[in-house]
Amino acid sequence: MNNNGFKNGALFGTIVGTSLGMIFGTKMGPMQKRKVMRSARRATSTLKNGINSLWG
Domain locations in the chain? 3-55
The residue type at 41: R
Predicted confidence at residue 1, as pLDDT, reads 46
Predicted confidence at residue 5, as pLDDT, reads 61
The parts of the chain modelled with pLDDT lower than 50 are: 1
Predicted confidence at residue 23, as pLDDT, reads 80
- Beta carbons of 25 and 36 less than 8 angstroms apart: yes
Q: What is the pTM of this model?
A: 0.40
The residue type at 33: K
For 1, which DSSP code?
-
Predicted confidence at residue 55, as pLDDT, reads 75
